[in-house]
Amino acid sequence: MLRNSVYMEELDAFTYREKIADEGMVLIPAGAIEQHGPHMPMNVDVLLSRTMAGAVAQEISAVVAAPIVYGYKSQQRSGGGSHLTGTTSLDGATIIDIAKSLTLEFADHGVRRIGFVNGHFENYQFLYEGVDLAIRELKKSGVEDMKVVLLSYWDFVDDATISELYPEGFTGWDLEHGGVLETSLMLHLYPGMVDMSRVDDIPPATLPNYDVLPVRPELTPDSGCLSSAANATAEKGEILLKRASAGMAEALQNEFRM
């Protein structure tokens, strides 16, 4: 138990109440249990969303809620596909209910400023829907001052950083699953959980610009990754963490006029 921690589950209830009193803010990490190739664990999205939220919380004096561990179904064009063993997902309605329930629960604690820090590409619209439903319900019950901001950390990696870290060319965030971004962050934050000797150094996946159900497994590379992580480094991860967390902190400060 740590009274100075930014992480809710590490606090005693009395310290938590003090931290959220007087316009305190709560950040909710949203991850997934999803394969990330042979070189990284399946909880990458949980670890990175929680750590990103923690870095932001330290900048703006917020509390980080325990993360949403399971996410929406991995899509073939952005996560390799839910057909890959190990990827363990929830359906959209469940993600919506979780986002709605958490928003209402924190509102019941007196929290009126919430940020969802998303670390799994496919979660976003379902988090949005759940938050929207919660805010509508709160307004009907007379709570008019709730405000929620939804952020995906990669959206705060600017063009200058992309040019700096991807001198060989950038394939786009959809093909970055298990690639340089996530692997670099893991090398910086959790190096013992990455085995670079197992990186499958392949060209970016070639996928259609539409979806087919059921998925065609042969379209996903055998590794499950959609681009190579061979150029990932801990130094790149440090840059990504600093710039993405700074961008999110600035966005929250602007929205909440902190």
DSSP for the chain, written as a single string: --TT-SBGGGS-HHHHHHHHTTT-EEEEEE--B----TTS-TTHHHHHHHHHHHHHHHHHT-EEPPPB-S-BPPPHHHHS-TTSTT-B-B-HHHHHHHHHHHHHHHHHTT--EEEEEE-SGGGHHHHHHHHHHHHHHHHHTT----EEEEEEGGGGS-HHHHHHH-TT----GGG-TTSHHHHHHHHHH-GGG--GGG----PPP---SS--SS--GGGS-TTS-SS--TT--HHHHHHHHHHHHHHHHHHHHHHTT-
Give the span between the Cα atoms of 25 and 54, in whole angstroms: 12
The single residue listed with the structure tokens 């589950």 is: 9
Bridge partners, residue 27, by sequence: 64, 115
d(CA 43, CA 87): 10
Catalytic residues: 34, 36, 45, 120, 122, 177, 182
